[in-house]
Each structure stands twice: as structure tokens, then as C-alpha cells.
Structure 1
Amino acid sequence: MRQYTAIATSTGRDGRAFSSDGRLDVQLALQKELGGDGDGTNPEQLFAAGYAACFATSMQLVAQKKAIDVSGMSITAEVGLSPNGAGGFQLDVTLRAKLPDSLSAEAGRELINATHQVCPYSNATRGNIPVELTIV
């Protein structure tokens, strides 16, 4: 049973995207790298923001269960867009975790891997797009 449903509508890459509750309303624009003017955000930026927020929240949950203090941590998501060789495009993601200095490299790696198993975005993308996990 669903606990929450997000609803958003878009008119396209050179248009608008808005949520049903009115909290999100953004101007979209095709990236300069793809021939657009770049005068708005794009779906890849929105996906990166959502994935980073979801992964960070999932990490806080995993850390709490393991009694690990992750105060000050942050997640940066890089979402790449590349031709897929069949006339379309494909995504790839790199997640960069900035973890507290108090965590050992081994503990950090265990934490990021455990988080990748819990995060809804990771579960949705697993097997569909490459996701690289790094600690910075």
C-alpha cells in the first residue's frame, strides 16, 4: 500500500513542470549542450536533486540503525545524459558521499553500500542505469 503519491505535470523540456500541490513550479529549458538556450532547469537536474535528497535521507536512516553519527554528511548526485546508440539517450549516475572524518574508510564504504540497498531511487534504477558510489 502506498504511503505517498507525488503528482507532477510537464509541458516538455522547453516548458514548465509543476506539482499538483503547487509547491514545485519550474521553468524548463533544453541544455545548451543539446542545442537549447539553457535558461531553465532540466529533467536531469531535477532527477539529480531528488536522488541526492533521497540517498541522504536513506543514509541517515541506515546510520541511525547502525548507531553511526553522520552529522554534516552530504550527497552530491551527478546525472549524465549520453546517446544510447539507437537514436535515444541514456542516463548514468555518480553519487558522491561526503562523510564525517570520524568514519573509517571501511565503515564509510559499508555505510554507502548499505544505503544503496535501502534508497528507493537506487532500488528503482538498479539494473537499469549504471550508478557509481564514491566517497569524497
Structure 2
Amino acid sequence: MDTIKPLFTASATAVGGRNGHTEATDGSVRAALSVPKAMGGPGKPGTTTPEHLFAAGYAACFGGALDFVGKQHKKDASKARVTAEVSIGPRDGGGFGLAVKLKVEDASLLRSELAAFAKEAHEKICPYSHATRNNVDVQIEVKSA
């Protein structure tokens, strides 16, 4: 396992698990949680899931990594649109697991450039990608000019 020198630490607390509430310690994020109907829960309106929160974080983080890689190559990837689809389901070995599809779109870059930048961001830069590697199936789909 790699060690890091922390630059920033985020902290959040959840009470009540998937049918409770979660909040960042600094109050920047607050969310009521509910198990979706597709998973046998009530799917309460105005609530979210841990998968939504993970998808939002991964999309933002990957977009930042993509922008970083673009700048290293003297290109602008700052307007790339990254959508993270996070699925949850039963694992063959028991319990539950996640799968992720990252959809990366940027019409201002050639598809081959964008694909190369996305690959580099995934393999070398994005901490979410590092955290999920060899643990979660992550697929990357690229759309461009």
C-alpha cells in the first residue's frame, strides 16, 4: 500500500446507515439517505444514496485529473464533461460490490487525444482510480470530435 503526505483531509459522519443522514464535519455537504426502491427500500423523495455521493466525487476528481493531464500536454481539457455511473450489486464471493462506468466527453479535443488523456488520468493521477484499482471494475467511455 502506498503512503501519502496528506494535503487535505475531509471528514464526514453518517448516522442510521443507508436510511439515515450523512454530513461533512465542516457542514459543506449534508444529505438525507434512503435505500432506493430498486434495492427493496422506500426510495424516499429528496434523498440520496452512498452510490450517488461516490459517483459525484469520482466524476469531479476524474475531471480534475483529466484537466491536470491536459495541461501537462499543453491542451485544455478543463471543459470535459465526466459522468460517473456507479452500480451496486451482489458479489460472487458474497456481500456487495461496485462497478463504475466513466463517460468522458470533450468535443474540443480529438478522440485519440481525449482517450490518451483519460487513460493517463486513470492510471497515474486520479486518487479515486487508484483507490478502486484491482478492487472495482472501472470502464472508461470516451466521446469527442
**Short-chain TM bin:** over 0.9
Deviation at residue 69 of structure 1 after TM alignment: 1.7
Query: Once superposed, which parts of structure 1, at least 4 consecutive aligned residues long, lie more than 4 Å away?
Result: none
- CA deviation profile, 1:85-118 (whole Å, cap 9, x unmatched): 3441110000000112x42222111111011021
TM-score by length of 2: 0.88
CA RMSD, 1 decimal: 1.1
Q: Which among 129, 140, 144 is matched to residue 122 of structure 1?
A: 129
- CA deviation profile, 1:60-96 (whole Å, cap 9, x unmatched): 1110111112243110000011111344111000000
Q: Which among 34, 38, 50 is matched to residue 33 of structure 1?
A: 38
Residue 33 of structure 1 aligns to which amino acid in structure 2?
Answer: A
Residue 28 of structure 1 aligns to which amino acid in structure 2?
Answer: L
Matches within 5 A, 1:14-93: 14-39=19-44, 40-93=47-100
Residue 51 of structure 2 aligns to which amino acid in structure 1?
Answer: E
CA pair 71-20 structure 1, distance change in 2 beyond 3 A: closer
TM-score by length of 1: 0.94
Q: Which among 89, 107, 127 is matched to residue 113 of structure 2?
A: 107
Runs of at least 5 residues in structure 1 that lack an aligned partner in the other structure: none
Question: Helix, strand or coil for the counterpart of 2:85?
Answer: strand
Residue 111 of structure 2 aligns to which amino acid in structure 1?
Answer: A
Identity fraction in percent: 39
